[in-house]
């Protein structure tokens, strides 16, 4: 015989606030999205209740973010991730996806991300696997590098960076002095049924 669960009764806001609200507040603090591009992650953070700031060096990308993803709780700012204007410990969390792998001065950026994140906060990044994780991309880049010196230079620059190899992101954060660092691969599969 299966045990029955008591019915969920959402009736006491004060009890909920004491039990869960105090934890939710810790998740809903200010987030900084470094290299926000057109604001996809910034907007997703805001949709989950966070106050989110997206910073990018590209005004056209920020114009797109304002046009496509303006909403309450989101601010988009033009800025240099190597030299951020925020005071120390301004954010509960700082994230960057698909940006650190193409910024030449990545050490400066991660040092700034750590600086503007409060002690006990979280810093996170995601980079594209340029070492065989997307064979179609490799084929295009390798073919284009035969035809164009600029593409060859870009391909060689990106592939030479430790950030795009296994444990490269973890090592980058450990160099900044962070102690609890983990790197987890995310595999995206797609197929047509």
User: Taking the domains of the chain in order of start, what are their residue ranges?
Assistant: 27-126
Q: Which residue has the tokens 């959402």?
A: 10
Question: Which two structure tokens, joined as six digits, stand for 62?
Answer: 């920020």
Quick one: fold of 27-126?
A: Rossmann fold (3.40.50)
Q: What is the pLDDT of residues 68-100, one digit of tens each?
A: 999 998 999 999 999 999 999 999 999 998 888
CA angle 93, 99, 102 (to 5 degrees): 145
- pLDDT, tens digit (0-9, with 9 covering 90-100), for 127-146: 776 566 667 777 888 899 99
Half-sphere exposure at residue 64, Cβ-oriented, CA atoms within 13 angstroms: 11
CA-wise closest residue to 173 among 87, 95, 104, 90: 95
Sheet of strand 91-97, all strands in order from the earlier edge strand to the far edge: 74-78, 51-56, 30-34, 91-97, 117-126
């Amino acid at each position: 015989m299966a045990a029955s669960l008591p019915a969920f009764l959402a009736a006491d806001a004060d009890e909920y606030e004491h039990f869960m609200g105090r934890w939710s507040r810790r998740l809903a603090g200010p987030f900084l999205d470094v290299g926000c591009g057109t604001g996809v992650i910034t907007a997703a953070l805001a949709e989950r209740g966070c106050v989110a700031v997206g910073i990018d060096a590209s005004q056209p990308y920020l114009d797109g973010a304002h046009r496509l993803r303006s909403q309450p709780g989101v601010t988009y700012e033009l800025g240099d991730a190597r030299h951020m204007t925020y005071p120390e410990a301004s954010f509960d969390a700082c994230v960057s996806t698909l940006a650190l792998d193409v910024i030449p001065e990545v050490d400066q950026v991660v040092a700034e991300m750590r600086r503007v994140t409060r002690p006990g906060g979280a810093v996170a990044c995601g980079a594209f696997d340029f070492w065989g994780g997307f064979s179609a991309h490799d084929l295009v880049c390798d073919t284009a590098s035969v035809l164009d010196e600029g593409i060859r230079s870009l391909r060689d620059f990106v592939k030479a960076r430790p950030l795009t190899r296994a444990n490269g992101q973890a090592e980058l954060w450990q160099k900044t002095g962070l102690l609890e660092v983990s790197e987890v691969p995310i595999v995206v599969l797609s197929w047509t049924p």
